[in-house]
Amino acid sequence: MSNILKNGNEKEKYLDSIRGSLFGGAVGDALGYPIEFMSEDRIFSIYGRQGIQEYALDSSSGKALISDDTQMSLFTADGILVADALGDLSSASHAYAAKAYMDWLITQEQSFGQFQDQPQRLKKESISWLLDVPELYSRRAPGMTCISALSRKKSGGAFGSIDNPLNDSKGCGGIMRVAPLALRHGNRDSLDSLDKEGAQIAAITHGHPLGYMSASALVHIISRIVYPRQQMSLKEIVLEARDAMARVFAGESYLGTLVRLIDLSVALSENHDDDLANIHQLGEGWVAEETLAISIYCSLRYQNNFSAGIMVAVNHKGDSDSTGAVTGNILGALCGYSAIEEKWKENLELSDVILEMADDLFYVCHADEYGDYEYDRWICKYVKMRRKPDLVKEAPQTQFIAVKGDITKNHNVTAIVNAANTSLLGGGGVDGAIHRTAGPELLEECRHLSGCETGKAKMTKAYKLPCDYVIHTPGPVWRGGQKKERERLASCYRSCLELAVKNGIRSIAFPSISTGIYGFPIDEAAKIAVETSKAFVSEHPGELDVVKWVLFDDITFAAYKDAIEK
């Protein structure tokens, strides 16, 4: 049993149920995955009259492989635990789950090695320590609705939501991944709020009401099992979930369809007919409401027998891994991890990761009792987003330096910044000095850039200057501060730094932009320059080694030196 258990049968019960649900879902998934696209005749011809009764092990790894169902469930858990760790109560869990799904998309598009070899700046949006798990970089028949919805976001679109659905899909890709929300719930939220949040997590990719309402019902059922507020039978919990859907989604035109299917699953579970014939009345599980109905049926019918329940749940002609996974989520929560037969615990792919995540879900609900639970590991995974401390690479500190001198001389930087005018064709002051030193080739290249807006930046070669690049940015003319001069000056620095990072430039030298003939007050310009640059560096750790200001006179040098020290 986990080292977080120090006393009390009550806490053991919670942990056993949480572990059971997450692990049980993976068991059902792995059992059903090899037969997902088989006809019933083929299933029974290969595995006998009872169908598949034990794992079909992968010939290469010797493991029972999980599918995208368990992969995405793990990323759901990771996302909502990051939200908890960061204490971001202003953002609902679904916002972080959505970010975690973008990390899952990486595992479907790249190999582990490809992702690890990427520059740090391309990884900065990732939030999941699961990206440190090589086995997750594998496509296991991922749902194309999930892939297309997340790819749309990657291309600049928005995530889906209940109010702004991306599509009309009610596929089971939404319901099969929401169980972790119920497991981390504890007694902190109202059930109605939790139910709505479960729907929002499904609606990130699946926009049909039956897709997200079914997910909501599953979250309600699992939460009630794991965190009972009164003694209730599984049937009572299912019927309560049905009634909760009618309340939370009152007026939804598809609500009647969901309610009727839940009622049918309950009724069928109480007859004495053949399981397969009953399941055929509920559907095949390719859509969310059918997945829910089949899983409710199997869980009610075999509520004291985890193995029997998941075997019935997968042995049909439909979406076997998803009906197996959701049935495993429910029965695992009900029976507990300790009641799952050893044969399901052996050879399950990523079983250690699944149990690790389950323990973390338990901890976040009981942090007060177990505040010392592997604290460093917790921070590593959900704040620094790496699986192990030795994988956390502290970003080197960027140096902020002010020197007095001529920016056209050698300052050991890759790029210098030119305080240009909007034509980019040269002028007085720093602009003229840079053009004279670089030679006529610089002006010729600038002629092809079509100028540059104030606050923006464009880059050229440096030619005869002692660096590799010149980044040109037109600063604002000071007009008393009433024409957004401060915002435009800050934009100059941010635009230059963005261009530098985009091109792998790690050292850059600025002049004092806009404080010459453009008249910007020196002290204020220095403060904006330093604060904007430091803010940018904090958002891009490890991307820049040196940010330098090369100042021509004593007064300007003193102002920037003071701003850096403050």
DSSP run (H or E) holding 459: strand 458-461
Given 68, 321, 431, 545, the catalytic residue:
431
Instruction: Tell me the backbone φ, ψ of residue 551, rounded to 5 degrees.
Output: -110, 145
Helical packing angle, 306-314 and 288-301, nearest 10°: 140
316 DSSP assignment: S
| Whole-number Å distance between alpha carbons of 541 and 394 | 9
Q: Which of 16, 19, 8, 39 is nearest to 317 (CA)?
A: 39
Helical packing angle, 522-539 and 485-502, nearest 10°: 40
| Whole-number Å distance between alpha carbons of 443 and 435 | 7
Angle made by CA atoms 325, 326, 332, in degrees to the nearest 5: 85
Active site annotation includes 78? no
DSSP run (H or E) holding 507: strand 507-510
Going by their DSSP bridges, the two strands 458-461 and 469-474 should be labelled as antiparallel
| Whole-number Å distance between alpha carbons of 252 and 261 | 15
DSSP string, 166-223: S----BTTTGGG-HHHHHS-TTSS-HHHHHHHHHHHHHTT--SHHHHHHHHHHHHHHH
Q: Which of 319, 332, 330 is nearest to 33 (CA)?
A: 319
| Whole-number Å distance between alpha carbons of 204 and 105 | 13
Going by their DSSP bridges, the two strands 415-420 and 469-474 should be labelled as parallel
336 token code pair: 């507990």
| Whole-number Å distance between alpha carbons of 310 and 26 | 11
| Whole-number Å distance between alpha carbons of 190 and 95 | 19
266 token code pair: 């309950």
CB distance 447 to 439 below 8 Å: no
Q: Provide the 10 A C-beta neighbour count for residue 168.
A: 10
394 DSSP assignment: P
Strand order in the sheet with 458-461: 399-404, 546-551, 507-510, 415-420, 469-474, 458-461
Residues sharing a CB contact under 8 Å with residue 280, sequence separation 6 or more, in sequence order: 316
| Whole-number Å distance between alpha carbons of 560 and 493 | 14
| Whole-number Å distance between alpha carbons of 85 and 383 | 6
| Whole-number Å distance between alpha carbons of 311 and 320 | 10
**Residue positions annotated with a catalytic role:** 431
